Amino acid sequence: MSPAYPDPEDQNAERQKSNFWLQFARYSQMAFIFPAALVVGWLVGAALDRWLHTTWLYLAGILVGIAAGFVELIRTVLRDTK
């Protein structure tokens, strides 16, 4: 009797399935990260506007939030391409 070894084709198919779902999860989190980064930037900018009695820092906060969202997108893409 020969020992029972798993079929390599089954293992490759299982890896591709889990890899697909892993990538799907990583990229779907971008749908939450972009708005969250934007809102956090806006809130920080608005708080600084109140504290410093200015009217334009919320725009800077929004821009920083957008930049943070893109940085996270680039990190995610680079992590998946390795």
Domain ranges of the chain: 32-81
Which of the four pLDDT bands, split at 50, 70 and 90, describes residue 21?
confident
What is the rounded distance in angstroms from the CA atom of residue 71 to the CA atom of residue 59? 18
The model carries a pTM of 0.69
- Between 45 and 13, the higher pLDDT residue: 45
- Counting residues of the chain whose pLDDT is more than 90, the rounded percentage is 50
pLDDT over threshold 80, residue 57? yes
**What integer pLDDT is reported at residue 6 of this predicted model?**
60
